[in-house]
Chains A and B, each alone.
Chain A
Amino acid sequence: MTSPTDIGAALQQDGGEGGAPEPFGLGSSPLRSDALPKALGIYPYAADLWAEGLLWGAVLRSPHPHARIRGIDTSAALALPGVHAVVTAADLPPGPDGLPDGAPAGPIVADRPVLAAGVVRHHGEPVAAVAADHPDTARLAVGLIAVDYEPLEAVTDPEQSFTAPPLHPDGNLFRHLPLRTGDPDAVGEIVVEGLYQVGRQDPAPLGAEAGLAVPRPDGGVELHLSSTDPHGDRDRTATCLGLEPDRVRLVATGVPGATTDREDLSFQVTLALLALRTGRPVKMTLTREESFHTHTSRHPALLRYRHHADAEGTLVKVEAQILLDGGAYADVSAEALAAATAFSVGPYVCPNVFVDAWAVRTNNPPAGRMRGEGALQTCFAYESQLDQLAARVGVDPVEIRRRNAMATGDPLPTGQAVTCPAPVKALLDAVAAEPLPALPVDDPDAEWLLPGGPGGAGDPAAVRRGIGYAVGMVHMLGAEGEDEVSTATVRVSGDHATVICAAVDAGQGFATLARQIVQTVLGVSEVYIAPADSDQSIAGPSARGRHTWVSGGAVERAALMVRHQLLQPIAANFGMSVELLQIADGKITSYDGVLGMPVAEALEGKELWATAQCRPHPTEPLDESGHGDAFVSISFCAMRAVVDVDIELGAVRVVEMTVAQDVGRALNPRQIEDRIEAGVAQGVGLALMEDLQTSGGVLLNPSLTGYRLPTSLDTPEVRIAALLEERDVVATFGAKAVSAVPAVVAPAAVAAAVRAATGLPVGRLPIRAEDAVTV
C-alpha cells in the first residue's frame, strides 16, 4: 500500500526530478499547484466551508416532470423547531405583471425560474427551500412542505415537442437553424443514409454542488462556491434577487474540477436568498441524487444524415436533420445548435450542404454546457457516415477521410473560411502510423483483461478486436458575436509576482499556465495566483477553452507591460531601446551580450504592476441560411480506437486510444496530455455506459450506482501520436484550446471500432450490450 506521504514524495519528485530545478516557463510541464493537496485529500472543497452560527439549507424538488402547482402550504415546516426560513417563488422579486414568476434567469435566455412558480417543468425542479439549524431538521422541514400538484401530461419525446401545447410562455422551440449551401439538386453516384442517436450524458461532477452564503451588513450577500463564472453568476444572482450587482460578491472556492458550468443558478440564488432572509450564514450541500437532478446534462440528439459522394468517395452533398433535446429550459441550447449545424459535415470539404437543425423544449432534464456541446453529437453522426461510405467505395476508413479532409483556407458550410491551421490529413496520418497494441495471445489467460473486467464472465473465444478511426473539430471561445474579453493584473514585488485574474481554474490548468506565462515574460520563478472572485475585473466563464486564449492573453499583456516598466530604466541607462534587451534564464541580457543582469537584481526593492485586457477579433451570428463568420478559431483531433468486444455478451473494453491533436503550440505538454486523457475518458464513458435514463420524464438512475462512470479499468491506454504545433497566428502564443476536442472525437472512434469488431451498424450512443451482440 502507498501511504499519503509516499504519494506526496512521488509527486514532489516528479515535479522536481530529485532536486533538479522546477520546470519553468512556457513549453515546460510544471505540476498543477492543487495536484498535491487534491491527491492527499487535504484540499478544501466548497462542502468543507464553515462559518460561525451557520444554518443549513435544503431544497424541495418536484416529483413530477410536468405539473401545475395549485398551492404550497409551508406552515407545518415553519412550525418545526429549528426552522428559520422557508422560501418559495413568492419570496423572490415578482415578474412584470406583479405576480411571482420565480425570477427566471439563464445564460442566454432568462427562462428558468429559481424556484418554480405555478408550474414545474422537469422532475427534480426546485419548488421551495428551507434554512434550519441542523441539516436533518432542514430536510425534515422540506418533507413537511405540502405542495398541491395537478400532474400534467409530460412531453418527453423531442419529436412531439413541435406539436405539443407550449410548455413555457416562450414556446417549445429554442432555435431552428437552417443551413443552405450550394446546389440542392446535386446528386452523387453513391448515397449513404443513417439515423443516429445520442443519449443523455451527465457531467456527474464528483464534488456535488455545495456552497456558503454570508449576508453582508450593507444588505448584500457574499457567496462562496465553486463557480466557474464568477461575474456571470454574480450578475444573474443579483438580478434574480433584485439587488445591484455590487451588492453580491462571488468567491470561487474549492472547485473540484468541472467540465461544464458549475453550480446551477437556482442553487446559488436560493442559498443567497436564505442567507438574506435569515440574516445568518447558510450552507447547503446537495446529495448525489439532487446533483443529478439539478445540473444540466448533455443534449440528447437525433440525427438523420444522407451523404452523396462520387465513385471515389469524394463528397458531393450532405443533407441532415438534427434534433437536440434541450429539456425544460433553454440554457445554452441555441449555442450548442450553432456548433452542431456549423460542424455538421465535420472536417471535410463538401460543396453542397443542406441542414435543418432544431433545439426544442421538453419535460426532460435541462441540457446545457458540456465539453463540445453540439459538436460531439454531429461528430458521431458524420463519422459513422464516413465509415459507411468507405465500405461502399471499398477503401479503408483512413483513406476516405484523407480524400475529403479539409485544409487551411477551405470553407465551412457556413461560408466562413477556416483561416487557422487545419492539419486534418497530418493528424490522420499520425494516428494511422502508430503501431497497434499486441493481442494478448502470448499472455497467460489469467492476465487477459477481457471485456467485463477481471473476474468477469469474459471468454477469450468470444472476443473480437476492432479498430476504428475518427476525426473531429470544435470551435473555441464564444461564438456568433458574443463579446469575448478578459482582464488580468500582474504585480511584481521583489522576487515574486502575483497574477490577479477572475479566471477560475476548473481543472483545465489555467492557474499553472498563468504562472508559466509570467515566468517566461518576466523571468521571475515564484508566481502566486490570487483566488478568483467577482470583485476583480471580469474574466468570463471557464468554458469553450477560452481562458488559455483570452485570460492567457490578458496575463501576457499585463506581464509585458510590467516587463517594459522594468526594462525601460535599464535600457535608458545604457542608451539602447527596450527591444534590444531580453529576459531568459532569469537574466536580462542585451542583444550584443554586453549587458547581463539577474532579473532578481533589477527587481530589488521594486513594486511594479499593470492591468491589461484581451479581446479576440469579433464574430457574427449565423444568418437565416446558416451563413456567417461565427467562430474565432477551431481545433482538430484524430483518434484511433482499439476495442475488444465479447460478441456473445456485448461487453466492450477499449484497449487503447491513439490521439493526434492540433494544439497550435504546446504550452505545457504534460497538462495537454492530461486534458486529452480526461477527454478520452469522458468520451469513452459516453460511448459505452454513461446515460442518464428517464421514463416519462422521471429520472431512473440518479446515483453513481445507477449512472455508470468509467472506472480506471474502463479507461484505455492513451497513446499520444502527435501534438501538432502549427501556430494559430491570431491566438495567444499561437496555442489552441485542448480540452473539448478529445471528448468530441472519442465516442465516434469507439463506435467505429465496435462496428469493425462486430459488423453491426452501431447507430446509438451509448452502445448497449445488446447493440454489440452478434449471435
Chain B
Amino acid sequence: MLPASLDEAVDALAAAPAAVPVAGATDLMEAVNAGRLRPAALVGLGRITELRGWRYEDGGTAVLGAGLTHARMDRPDFAALIPALADAARTAGPPQVRNVGTLGGNIVTAAPAGDTLPVLTALEATVTLARSGGTREVPVSHLLTGLDPVRPGELLTWVRVPLLHAPQVFLKATGRSGPARATASVALVLDPARRAVRCAVGAVAPVPLRPLEAEAWVAGCIDWDGSREIDPVATAAFGEYVAAACVPDNYGAEGAWEAVTEGPTAAAVRLRRTVSVLARRALGRALK
C-alpha cells in the first residue's frame, strides 16, 4: 500500500492491523532478510510528502516530519537550526543509507546505537503518534524506554524539538574512519534561556542515558552572562562525571553480582574512558 496522505495511511493501518509501516526500509529489510520479520502487508510512507519536511510552531519549536531523511537533515539549512541532529544524521551510515533512512525509522527501530536518539533525548523532544481518528503526544524518552510504546495501528508523524539558538554537539566513537555504528556517543546541547546543559549518552545502554546530576553541576560552572567560559578542569571533571553516571561498575560482566565487591570491570573502565573523552570534547566544542 502506498498512501499519498497521512489520513490515508492511518486508515490503511486501521483497516489492516497486521500491516507494517515502512519508510526507507534500511532497518526493515535487514530484519526481513534475516528472517526476524515477515510482514503480512506493508504501508509505504514514501509518498506522504508532508512528512518529508518541517515547519515552525510558535514558542520556538520545530516540528520535524518523520520522513526527513538523514541526508536532508545534514544540509546546511537544517544544520543551522538543530546542529546536533545534523551532526548525528551526517554519521548515520553510508550515503546510500542516509539518502533513504529516516528520522522516524531511526526512532521506531530504537537501536541502542541509533544516532539521532541521544540528540532527541538531550533535546527532550516529543513525538506525535497518529492513528485513525486521533493523535497523542509522547516524550521521546518514554517511547524509547518502553514506558509508552508505539501501539499497533499508530504512525509516528512528527517530532517536536525546541529551537535553542545555542551551540550543540554530537560526537560518536566508532571502530573505523568510514561510516560505522557508534561504540559510544554523546549529545550535548546548551539551553542559555534556562541556563542549562543537557547531555545524553548513546550506545552504552539499550536507551540513551541522561547524566542529570552532572548536567546540573556543570551548568553551575559556566559563566552564562559573560563569554560562557569554563575552567578546563571543570570540563575534564564533567567528562568523568558523565562517564561514571552512565557506565555501571559491572558493565560487560556476565553476572551482576561480580560488581558488588570488585570495583569496575575492565570493560567499564575502557568505556568510561571513551565516554569521558567524548563528553569533555563535546562540552569543550559547545563552549568554544
Which residues in A have some Cβ–Cβ distance to B below 8 Å? 139, 287, 289, 449, 451-457, 459, 462, 648-649, 651, 653, 688-689, 705, 708, 710-714, 769-770, 773
Of all chain A residues, the one with the shortest Cβ separation from B285 is: A459
The verdict on A457 contacting B172 (CB below 8 Å), with A649-B274, A649-B277, A705-B181 known, is yes
Of all chain A residues, the one with the shortest Cβ separation from B90 is: A455
B176 partner residues in chain A, CB cutoff 8 A = 453, 688-689, 708, 710-711, 713-714
In the bound complex, how far is the Cα of B173 from the Cα of A457, in angstroms?
6
A457, A651, A711, A770: residue with the most chain B Cβ atoms closer than 10 Å: A457
B172, B177, B179, B278: residue with the most chain A Cβ atoms closer than 10 Å: B177
Nearest Cβ distance between residue A546 and chain B, in whole angstroms? 33
B176, B180, B181, B270: residue with the most chain A Cβ atoms closer than 10 Å: B176
Interface residues of B in 134-178 (CB under 8 A from A): 171-178
State whether B91 touches A708 (Cβ < 8 A).
no
In the bound complex, how far is the Cα of B173 from the Cα of A713, in angstroms?
15
In the bound complex, how far is the Cα of B170 from the Cα of A631, in angstroms?
55
The verdict on A457 contacting B171 (CB below 8 Å), with A648-B277, A773-B273 known, is yes
State whether A452 touches B173 (Cβ < 8 A).
yes
The yes or no answer to B35 lying at the interface (CB within 8 A) is yes
State whether B178 touches A457 (Cβ < 8 A).
no
State whether B87 touches A287 (Cβ < 8 A).
no
Given contact pairs A453-B178, A714-B178, A773-B273, enumerate 11 new A-B contacts (beta carbons under 8 Å).
Answer: A287-B33, A449-B177, A452-B174, A456-B177, A457-B173, A649-B278, A651-B174, A688-B176, A708-B180, A711-B176, A714-B176
In the bound complex, how far is the Cα of B277 from the Cα of A688, in angstroms?
21
B87 partner residues in chain A, CB cutoff 8 A = 455
State whether B179 touches A711 (Cβ < 8 A).
yes
Nearest Cβ distance between residue A58 and chain B, in whole angstroms? 11
A714 partner residues in chain B, CB cutoff 8 A = 176-178
A456 partner residues in chain B, CB cutoff 8 A = 91, 171-174, 177
State whether A689 touches B173 (Cβ < 8 A).
no
B90 partner residues in chain A, CB cutoff 8 A = 454-455
Which residues in B have some Cβ–Cβ distance to A below 8 Å? 33-35, 87, 90-91, 94, 171-181, 183, 270, 273-274, 277-278, 281
State whether A139 touches B177 (Cβ < 8 A).
no
State whether A453 touches B177 (Cβ < 8 A).
yes
In the bound complex, how far is the Cα of B273 from the Cα of A493, in angstroms?
70
In the bound complex, how far is the Cα of B277 from the Cα of A459, in angstroms?
10
The verdict on A289 contacting B178 (CB below 8 Å), with A455-B87, A649-B173, A770-B270 known, is no
State whether B177 touches A713 (Cβ < 8 A).
yes
B183 partner residues in chain A, CB cutoff 8 A = 769
Nearest Cβ distance between residue A563 and chain B, in whole angstroms? 49
Of all chain A residues, the one with the shortest Cβ separation from B277 is: A648
Top 5 closest A-B pairs, CB basis?
Answer: A711-B178, A453-B177, A457-B171, A713-B178, A713-B177
A708 partner residues in chain B, CB cutoff 8 A = 175-176, 180
A705 partner residues in chain B, CB cutoff 8 A = 181
State whether A710 touches B273 (Cβ < 8 A).
no
In the bound complex, how far is the Cα of B34 from the Cα of A452, in angstroms?
29
State whether A689 touches B33 (Cβ < 8 A).
no
A651 partner residues in chain B, CB cutoff 8 A = 173-174, 177
Nearest Cβ distance between residue A297 and chain B, in whole angstroms? 18
In the bound complex, how far is the Cα of B30 from the Cα of A289, in angstroms?
12
Of all chain A residues, the one with the shortest Cβ separation from B182 is: A457
In the bound complex, how far is the Cα of B33 from the Cα of A681, in angstroms?
29
Could you say which of A451, A462, A773 contacts B177, with CB atoms under 8 Å apart? A451
Could you say which of B33, B34, B177, B274 contacts A769, with CB atoms under 8 Å apart? B274
Nearest Cβ distance between residue B156 and chain A, in whole angstroms? 24
B181 partner residues in chain A, CB cutoff 8 A = 705
In the bound complex, how far is the Cα of B172 from the Cα of A287, in angstroms?
30
Nearest Cβ distance between residue B196 and chain A, in whole angstroms? 23
B277 partner residues in chain A, CB cutoff 8 A = 457, 462, 648-649
In the bound complex, how far is the Cα of B172 from the Cα of A653, in angstroms?
16
Nearest Cβ distance between residue B201 and chain A, in whole angstroms? 13
In the bound complex, how far is the Cα of B173 from the Cα of A75, in angstroms?
50
A653 partner residues in chain B, CB cutoff 8 A = 177
In the bound complex, how far is the Cα of B236 from the Cα of A462, in angstroms?
14
In the bound complex, how far is the Cα of B281 from the Cα of A451, in angstroms?
15
14 A-B pairs with CB atoms under 8 Å apart are: A287-B34, A453-B174, A453-B178, A455-B91, A455-B172, A456-B171, A456-B174, A457-B281, A648-B273, A651-B173, A689-B176, A708-B176, A712-B178, A769-B183
In the bound complex, how far is the Cα of B202 from the Cα of A252, in angstroms?
47
In the bound complex, how far is the Cα of B179 from the Cα of A712, in angstroms?
10
Of all chain B residues, the one with the shortest Cβ separation from A712 is: B178
Nearest Cβ distance between residue B78 and chain A, in whole angstroms? 15
A769 partner residues in chain B, CB cutoff 8 A = 173, 175, 183, 270, 274
Nearest Cβ distance between residue B41 and chain A, in whole angstroms? 16
Nearest Cβ distance between residue A726 and chain B, in whole angstroms? 37
B180 partner residues in chain A, CB cutoff 8 A = 708
Of all chain B residues, the one with the shortest Cβ separation from A711 is: B178
Of all chain B residues, the one with the shortest Cβ separation from A644 is: B177
State whether A289 touches B34 (Cβ < 8 A).
yes
The verdict on A459 contacting B281 (CB below 8 Å), with A289-B34, A769-B274 known, is yes
Nearest Cβ distance between residue A681 and chain B, in whole angstroms? 12
State whether A139 touches B175 (Cβ < 8 A).
no
B273 partner residues in chain A, CB cutoff 8 A = 648, 770, 773
Nearest Cβ distance between residue A256 and chain B, in whole angstroms? 19
A449 partner residues in chain B, CB cutoff 8 A = 177
Of all chain A residues, the one with the shortest Cβ separation from B38 is: A136
A648 partner residues in chain B, CB cutoff 8 A = 273, 277
B173 partner residues in chain A, CB cutoff 8 A = 452, 456-457, 649, 651, 769
Of all chain B residues, the one with the shortest Cβ separation from A691 is: B175
Nearest Cβ distance between residue B27 and chain A, in whole angstroms? 11
In the bound complex, how far is the Cα of B94 from the Cα of A11, in angstroms?
25
In the bound complex, how far is the Cα of B278 from the Cα of A496, in angstroms?
64
Nearest Cβ distance between residue A490 and chain B, in whole angstroms? 44
In the bound complex, how far is the Cα of B93 from the Cα of A705, in angstroms?
10
A451 partner residues in chain B, CB cutoff 8 A = 177
Of all chain A residues, the one with the shortest Cβ separation from B274 is: A649
In the bound complex, how far is the Cα of B271 from the Cα of A773, in angstroms?
12
Nearest Cβ distance between residue B64 and chain A, in whole angstroms? 20
Nearest Cβ distance between residue A67 and chain B, in whole angstroms? 22
State whether B177 touches A711 (Cβ < 8 A).
yes
A770 partner residues in chain B, CB cutoff 8 A = 270, 273
Could you say which of B35, B178, B278, B281 contacts A710, with CB atoms under 8 Å apart? B178
A454 partner residues in chain B, CB cutoff 8 A = 90
In the bound complex, how far is the Cα of B179 from the Cα of A713, in angstroms?
9
B171 partner residues in chain A, CB cutoff 8 A = 456-457
In the bound complex, how far is the Cα of B36 from the Cα of A139, in angstroms?
12
B172 partner residues in chain A, CB cutoff 8 A = 455-457
In the bound complex, how far is the Cα of B278 from the Cα of A471, in angstroms?
37
Nearest Cβ distance between residue A431 and chain B, in whole angstroms? 23
Nearest Cβ distance between residue A84 and chain B, in whole angstroms? 21
Of all chain A residues, the one with the shortest Cβ separation from B185 is: A457
Nearest Cβ distance between residue B237 and chain A, in whole angstroms? 15
A711 partner residues in chain B, CB cutoff 8 A = 94, 176-179
B34 partner residues in chain A, CB cutoff 8 A = 287, 289
B177 partner residues in chain A, CB cutoff 8 A = 449, 451-453, 456, 651, 653, 711, 713-714
Of all chain A residues, the one with the shortest Cβ separation from B276 is: A648
Nearest Cβ distance between residue A284 and chain B, in whole angstroms? 16
B178, B270, B274: residue with the most chain A Cβ atoms closer than 10 Å: B178
B281 partner residues in chain A, CB cutoff 8 A = 457, 459
Of all chain B residues, the one with the shortest Cβ separation from A648 is: B277
Nearest Cβ distance between residue B65 and chain A, in whole angstroms? 23
Nearest Cβ distance between residue B115 and chain A, in whole angstroms? 10
